[in-house]
A and B are shown apart, each in its own frame.
Chain A
Amino acid sequence: MLSLGQFHTRTHTCDTNVHMTPVSNNKSKGLYGNILRLLPYILALLLWAVLALRGQIFLKKVEDLSLFLFDWLYFREYIQIPGGLLGVAGSFLTQFLYLPWLGSILWVLLLLITYQLTVRVLRIPEQYRALAIIPAALLVIGNMSLGYGVFIMREQDHFFAPLLGYLAALIPISGIYRVEKVWGKMILLAIWTAVGFPLFGTFALIGTLSAACTAFTATDMLRKNRIGLFLTGVALIILIPVIIYNFYTSYRLADSWHLGLPSISEDVWTHAIRAPFQLALLFIPVMTIASRWLKESGKTLTLQTAVFVISVASVWGFWFKDENFRTELAMSEAVDRFDWQKVIDIYQKTVDSHTESDAKAYAARSKALSGVKSQEELTEILGIYDKRFFEPTRTMILYRDLALLKMNRALDEAFTMKDGGRMQKSRTQIPMALQSGKQLYLQYGLVNMSYRWCLEDVIEHNWSYSTIKYMAMHSVIMQESDFARKYLNKLEKTVFYRQWAKEQGKLAADSVLMASNEPYKSILPYMCFENRMTNDLVKSETFLMRHFSEPEPPHPSPEYDRAGLLWAMRMQDIPSFWQHLYSYLQTNNVRELPRSVQEAALLYSSLEKKSTDLPLSKAVRDSYNAFNQYVNANPVRDIRESAYPFSRKFGNTFFYFYYFIRDLQTY
Chain B
Amino acid sequence: MKKIIIPLLVILIVACKPTLPSDYDTAGTVPAIFPDYTDITIPSNIAPMNFLIEEQADAYLTELTSESGQVVIKGNTVSIPKSKWARITKSQEITVRVYCRKDSKWIAYKPFKMSISDEIDPYISYRIIPVAVESYEKLTIRQRNLTNYSEKVVVSNSMIQNNAQGTCINCHYYKNWDTDNMMFHVRHYKGGTILVLDGKLHKVNMKTDSTISAGVYPSWHPTHDYIALSNNKTHQSVHAASHDKLEVIDEENDIILYNTRDNTVSVIENDSSELECFPGWSADGRTLYYVSAHYEAPFGPDRKNQIFIDREKLHFSLYSKPFDPDTRTWGAKELIYDAQAVDSSMTWPRVSPDGRWMVCCVSTHGIFPLDQIASDFVIYDLKDNSYRYADEINSRFAESYHCWSSNGKWIMFSTRREDGVHTRLYFSHIDGNGHFTKPFALPQRNPEFNREFLYAFNIPEFMKEPVHITPRQFASFISSTDATPSKYESKKGE
Residues on A with beta carbons closer than 8 Å to the beta carbon of B241: 445-448, 527, 529-531
Contact across chains for B163 and A535 when beta carbons are under 8 A apart: no
A251 to B140, CA, bound (A): 12
Contact across chains for B452 and A489 when beta carbons are under 8 A apart: yes
**Distance in Å from the Cβ of A430 to the closest Cβ of chain B?**
15
Contact across chains for A265 and B420 when beta carbons are under 8 A apart: no
Whether A95 sits at the interface, judged by CB under 8 Å, is no
Contact across chains for A534 and B475 when beta carbons are under 8 A apart: no
Residues on B with beta carbons closer than 8 Å to the beta carbon of A245: 472
Contact across chains for A485 and B135 when beta carbons are under 8 A apart: no
Contact across chains for B238 and A452 when beta carbons are under 8 A apart: yes
Residues on A with beta carbons closer than 8 Å to the beta carbon of B420: 480, 482-483
Residues on A with beta carbons closer than 8 Å to the beta carbon of B271: none
Whether B138 sits at the interface, judged by CB under 8 Å, is yes
Whether A375 sits at the interface, judged by CB under 8 Å, is no
The residue in chain A whose Cβ has the minimal distance to the Cβ of B476 is A253
**Distance in Å from the Cβ of B32 to the closest Cβ of chain A?**
14
Contact across chains for B453 and A73 when beta carbons are under 8 A apart: yes
**Distance in Å from the Cβ of A174 to the closest Cβ of chain B?**
34
Query: Can you report 29 residue pairs joining A to B where beta carbons are below 8 Å apart?
Result: A73-B452, A250-B156, A250-B158, A252-B160, A252-B475, A252-B479, A266-B164, A446-B240, A447-B241, A448-B238, A449-B238, A456-B133, A460-B135, A482-B418, A483-B421, A486-B421, A486-B422, A490-B452, A529-B240, A529-B241, A530-B241, A531-B239, A531-B240, A531-B242, A533-B238, A533-B239, A533-B240, A534-B239, A535-B238
Whether B477 sits at the interface, judged by CB under 8 Å, is no
* A518-546 interface with B by 8 A CB criterion: 527, 529-535
Residues on A with beta carbons closer than 8 Å to the beta carbon of B419: 480, 482-483, 485-486
Residues on B with beta carbons closer than 8 Å to the beta carbon of A452: 133, 238, 245-246
Contact across chains for B159 and A250 when beta carbons are under 8 A apart: yes
Whether A503 sits at the interface, judged by CB under 8 Å, is no
- Known contacts A251-B159, A449-B240, A455-B131; 5 additional CB pairs below 8 A are A446-B240, A463-B454, A483-B421, A530-B241, A531-B239
Whether B446 sits at the interface, judged by CB under 8 Å, is yes
Smallest CB-CB A-B distances: 6 pairs: A459-B135, A249-B153, A482-B419, A533-B237, A533-B308, A249-B471
A635 to B233, CA, bound (A): 55
What per-residue 1/0 map shows which CB atoms of B224-245 lie under 8 Å from chain A? 0000000000000111111101
- Given A447-B241, A452-B133, answer yes or no on A265-B446 (Cβ-Cβ < 8 Å): no
Residues on B with beta carbons closer than 8 Å to the beta carbon of A293: none
A353 to B132, CA, bound (A): 42
* B129-155 interface with A by 8 A CB criterion: 130-138, 140, 153
**Distance in Å from the Cβ of A494 to the closest Cβ of chain B?**
14
The residue in chain A whose Cβ has the minimal distance to the Cβ of B449 is A73
* B163-208 interface with A by 8 A CB criterion: 163-164
Residues on A with beta carbons closer than 8 Å to the beta carbon of B137: 459-460
What per-residue 1/0 map shows which CB atoms of A471-488 lie under 8 Å from chain B? 000000010101101100
* A427-475 interface with B by 8 A CB criterion: 445-449, 451-452, 455-456, 458-460, 463
A458 to B456, CA, bound (A): 13
What per-residue 1/0 map shows which CB atoms of B308-333 lie under 8 Å from chain A? 11010000000000000000000000
The residue in chain B whose Cβ has the minimal distance to the Cβ of A455 is B132
Whether B247 sits at the interface, judged by CB under 8 Å, is yes
Contact across chains for B163 and A448 when beta carbons are under 8 A apart: no
Contact across chains for B237 and A535 when beta carbons are under 8 A apart: yes
Whether B29 sits at the interface, judged by CB under 8 Å, is no
The residue in chain B whose Cβ has the minimal distance to the Cβ of A81 is B158
Contact across chains for B245 and A448 when beta carbons are under 8 A apart: yes
Residues on A with beta carbons closer than 8 Å to the beta carbon of B449: 73
- Given A449-B240, A486-B454, answer yes or no on A456-B245 (Cβ-Cβ < 8 Å): no
Contact across chains for A263 and B133 when beta carbons are under 8 A apart: no
Contact across chains for B159 and A249 when beta carbons are under 8 A apart: yes
The residue in chain A whose Cβ has the minimal distance to the Cβ of B241 is A531
Chain B interface main SS type: loop
Residues on B with beta carbons closer than 8 Å to the beta carbon of A535: 237-238
The residue in chain A whose Cβ has the minimal distance to the Cβ of B475 is A252
* Of B158, B238, B453, most A-chain CB atoms within 10 Å: B238
Contact across chains for A480 and B243 when beta carbons are under 8 A apart: yes
Whether A267 sits at the interface, judged by CB under 8 Å, is yes
A533 to B242, CA, bound (A): 10
Contact across chains for B311 and A533 when beta carbons are under 8 A apart: yes
B residues neighboring A (CB under 8 Å): 130-138, 140, 153, 156, 158-160, 162-164, 237-243, 245-247, 308-309, 311, 418-422, 446, 449, 451-454, 471-472, 475, 479
Whether A380 sits at the interface, judged by CB under 8 Å, is no
Q: Which of B163, B243, B451, B479 interacts with A265 by CB under 8 Å? A: B163
Contact across chains for B237 and A252 when beta carbons are under 8 A apart: no
Contact across chains for B156 and A456 when beta carbons are under 8 A apart: no
**Distance in Å from the Cβ of A509 to the closest Cβ of chain B?**
14
**Distance in Å from the Cβ of B359 to the closest Cβ of chain A?**
26
**Distance in Å from the Cβ of A73 to the closest Cβ of chain B?**
5
Contact across chains for A263 and B452 when beta carbons are under 8 A apart: no
Whether A270 sits at the interface, judged by CB under 8 Å, is yes
Contact across chains for B153 and A71 when beta carbons are under 8 A apart: no
* A233-287 interface with B by 8 A CB criterion: 245-246, 249-252, 254, 263, 265-267, 270
* Of A460, A486, A530, most B-chain CB atoms within 10 Å: A486
Contact across chains for A455 and B130 when beta carbons are under 8 A apart: yes
Whether A72 sits at the interface, judged by CB under 8 Å, is yes
The residue in chain B whose Cβ has the minimal distance to the Cβ of A73 is B452
Contact across chains for B245 and A533 when beta carbons are under 8 A apart: no
**Distance in Å from the Cβ of B169 to the closest Cβ of chain A?**
12
Residues on B with beta carbons closer than 8 Å to the beta carbon of A485: 419, 451
Contact across chains for A71 and B452 when beta carbons are under 8 A apart: yes
Contact across chains for A270 and B163 when beta carbons are under 8 A apart: yes
A249 to B467, CA, bound (A): 15
* A204-250 interface with B by 8 A CB criterion: 245-246, 249-250
**Distance in Å from the Cβ of B130 to the closest Cβ of chain A?**
5
Contact across chains for A455 and B164 when beta carbons are under 8 A apart: no
**Distance in Å from the Cβ of B409 to the closest Cβ of chain A?**
31
Q: Which of A456, A482, A531, A532 interacts with B132 by CB under 8 Å? A: A456
A446 to B479, CA, bound (A): 40
**Distance in Å from the Cβ of B241 to the closest Cβ of chain A?**
5
Residues on B with beta carbons closer than 8 Å to the beta carbon of A463: 454
Contact across chains for A534 and B158 when beta carbons are under 8 A apart: no
A36 to B239, CA, bound (A): 63
Contact across chains for B239 and A448 when beta carbons are under 8 A apart: yes
**Distance in Å from the Cβ of B285 to the closest Cβ of chain A?**
35
A334 to B136, CA, bound (A): 32
A267 to B479, CA, bound (A): 19
A527 to B449, CA, bound (A): 34
A445 to B240, CA, bound (A): 9
Q: Which of B135, B245, B309, B454 interacts with A451 by CB under 8 Å? A: B245
**Distance in Å from the Cβ of B301 to the closest Cβ of chain A?**
14
**Distance in Å from the Cβ of A388 to the closest Cβ of chain B?**
35
What per-residue 1/0 map shows which CB atoms of A605-647 lie under 8 Å from chain B? 0000000000000000000000000000000000000000000
The residue in chain A whose Cβ has the minimal distance to the Cβ of B311 is A533
**Distance in Å from the Cβ of B156 to the closest Cβ of chain A?**
5
Residues on B with beta carbons closer than 8 Å to the beta carbon of A531: 239-242
